[in-house]
Amino acid sequence: MTLTYSVVLSSVLLAARCHAQQFPAKFKFGAASAAYQVEGGWNADGKGESIWDRLVHTNKDAIEDGSTGDIAADSYHLWREDVEMASEMGLDFYRFSISWPRILPSGLSNNISSAGVAYYNNLIDELLLHGIQPVVTMYHWDLPVKLQDLGGWTNPLISDWFESYAAVLYSLYADRVKTWLTINEPIVICDFSYNGGVYAPGIKEPELAPYLCNKHLMIAHAKAYRLYQRDYKHKYDGRISLANNVLWIEPFEVPRDIELAELGLEHMVGRYAHPIFSKEGGWPKRIEKHMLEYSLKQGYNSSRLPAFTEEEKKLIQGSADFFGFNYYTARQIRPAREGEHGTWFIDGSPELDAMLEVPPGATFGATELIAIVPRGLREMLVYLKNTYGDIEYLITENGYPGWKDMEDHARIDFIRDHLEQLHIAIEEDNVTVSGYTYWSLLDNFEWLGGYGIRFGIYDVDFDDPKRTRTPRLSAKYYACVIDGNSYNVSLECSNSPTTAFSRIPTNGDSVRNCVSILVWMFTVALRFI
């Protein structure tokens, strides 16, 4: 009987280990890209000019290597190769964005480009043919210049322009696209762009523009959501959210900075999440109060954070079917010292009289803007659950800023470490997470960094007119993660050749081996009972 008990105990422990390696059965893995960063064809077939086209063409010094996105990875012509890459990795979904000026060259719905419509039709159909679900971002920073010249996101009419744009997209693609993200990283569009003035549209106005943009963007998202709910939900049963960029913020010194960290999270995350996901709607109350007090001290007669009407609160509240967010980095927050004036989302916040510091133990890739802190992903998920409840969360971006390195073990470590933290949040903190999206599928034009920073799990040779794509070692690793539904894949997988996706041992094999061993062990145990 002693042997029987030993076998049973070993079986239980082995079963627990096998289970611990797995994500939930319905968990999905994907990868992402964005139109301006990969498509090229900047003026092909009548495409209109975007604010990024204008920036790179009029200010060569804006981009670190003086490059543009005119050709980029040439996905406008090489989209079949992109789908093949997604297919050979076994992606469950591919997140890409639609270029507003490629569909509507002037930004308005009176002129719809048939070539632009056909391009995205072909891409969507090819993905579905390979069993890959399209996850479509409506707006990933490439605003048509005509709309920018009218004020862009600081003009309240942009919510109507965006709603009209969304109506065109739904009418064209809603029969096949079941997951939509209205806007990518609102905080970058509003706070980062207008506070720093270096991102398109290249306007520095930190006093009013970030907060006007914040309000108008939330209304634009909500109008696009309500439009779908009214006219398309009953037909196609799709789901809609937006992709927030969330910076995990923790106190620099405990207990002194605990309240400041909470205020920092509300200022950074809450202004773009609270109006949608909170039970009361509107701005976070502490931020609303703080901004009013700060604005009055500056001499304004009202808050620089414009108020929502009750009708607007109702419009926005609940306008998402899940919480989508991009996680890249974390910071510690402390009070500013005399003479310090931070720029919000970069190194501090004048409104909060606070500075941001890199957490101890953080590592870096090819840019110092992204301090790599994997535990911050779990911390953020727990914070969001505690703040907004047990709703569904989808990681819409998470990626490593590397170099042109094919044997990119650092990227593999990055993916593994973040997936491990994600798994802990699911298993131990009971956070409901439906999927993970790696940024990015392939190397691209990395905004101000040009082509010097490589996020892709596929290398793109930008010196080759054919824009040859080659899988990095991390592509092999990620394929094994997907196959095994686990971050804990075998060494044989990670060390296998990168020239082809031949069948190799993965954790999927390990799990199958677990099952086989368990069956054998229980068979042995039965003989002694």
Instruction: Pick the closest to residue 319 from 162, 524, 150 (CA basis).
Output: 162
> Comparing C-alpha atoms, which of 282, 268, 276, 138 is closest to residue 195?
268
pTM of the predicted model as reported, rounded to 2 decimal places: 0.92
**Tens digit of each residue's pLDDT (9 = 90 or more) over 450-505:** 999 999 999 999 999 999 999 999 999 999 999 999 999 876 776 655 434 543 33
How sure is the predictor about 141, in pLDDT bands with cuts at 50, 70 and 90? very high
Q: Output b/e per residue, 82-102; b: 16+ Cβ within 10 A.
A: bbebbbebbbbbbbbbbbbbb
Q: Does position 94 have pLDDT exceeding 50, yes or no?
A: yes
**Rg (alpha carbons) of the chain, rounded to whole number:** 24
- For residue 354, pLDDT over 70 is answered with yes
Query: With the C-alpha atoms ordered 379, 380, 385, 388, is the resulting torsion angle positive or negative?
Result: positive
- Distance between alpha carbon 124 and the CA centroid of its chain, in Å? 20
Residue 5 pLDDT > 90, yes or no?
no
Average the pLDDT over each of 29-33, 214-218, 230-234, 510-514 and give the range with the smallest value. Answer: 510-514
Q: Specify the pLDDT at position 493.
A: 73
- pLDDT value at position 501? 52
pLDDT at residue 496, as a whole number: 56
Q: Which amino acid is at 205?
A: E
CATH number 3.20.20.80 is the correct assignment for the domain at 22-456: yes
Among 5-19, 235-249, 326-340, 503-517, whose mean pLDDT is lowest?
503-517
CB 127 within 8 A of CB 63: no
Q: Tokens for 85?
A: 């890459």
Question: Tokens for 148?
Answer: 């920018």
pLDDT at 517 over 70: no
Rounded to the nearest integer, the mean pLDDT of the chain is: 91
What is the rounded average pLDDT of the residues 99-110?
Answer: 98
In this model, does residue 239 exceed pLDDT 60?
yes
pLDDT at 344: 83
Select from 112, 127, 146, 115 the least CA-distant residue to 43: 115
Secondary element (H or E) of residue 32:
strand 28-32
Of residues 406 and 514, more confidently modeled: 406
Can you give the pLDDT at residue 407? 87
Per-residue pLDDT for 282 more than 90? yes
Cα–Cα distance measured from residue 316 to residue 218, given in angstroms and rounded to the nearest whole number: 7
Beta strands in 86-163 (DSSP E): 93-97, 133-139
The C-alpha atoms of residue 271 and residue 187 are separated, in whole angstroms, by: 9
- Within 8 A by CB and 6+ apart from 114, the residues are none
Could you tell me if 167 and 100 are in contact, meaning their C-beta atoms sit under 8 angstroms apart? no
Share of the chain above pLDDT 90, in %: 86
Collect contacts of 402-405 with beta carbons under 8 A, ≥24 apart.
Answer: 402/365, 402/366, 402/453, 402/454, 402/455, 403/365, 403/366, 403/453, 403/454, 404/443, 404/454, 404/459, 405/454, 405/472
DSSP symbols for 278-329: SSS-SS-HHHHHHHHHHHHHTT-SS-SSPPPPHHHHHHHTT--SSEEEEEEE
Contact partners, residue 82, CB within 8 Å, separation at least 6: 33, 38, 75, 94, 441, 442, 469
Q: What is the pLDDT of residues 169-208, one digit of tens each?
A: 999 999 999 999 999 999 999 999 999 999 999 999 999 9
For residues 9, 11, 15 and 20, what is the CA-based torsion angle, rounded to 10 degrees? 50
The phi and psi torsions of 467 (rounded to 5 degrees) equal 50, 55
The region, left, alpha or beta by phi > 0 then psi within -120 to 50, assigned to residue 185 is left
| pLDDT at 510 (0 to 100) | 43
**Catalytic machinery residues:** 185, 397
Nearest to 134 by CA among 172, 182, 173: 173
Helix (H) / strand (E) containing 415? helix 409-427
Angle at 10 between CA 7 and CA 16, to 5 degrees: 140
- Say whether pLDDT at 312 is over 60: yes
> Token pair for residue 524?
């042995």
Residues 6+ apart with CB under 8 A from 352: 260, 263, 264, 267, 290, 333
Q: Would you give the distance in Å from CA 272 to the centre of its chain?
A: 14
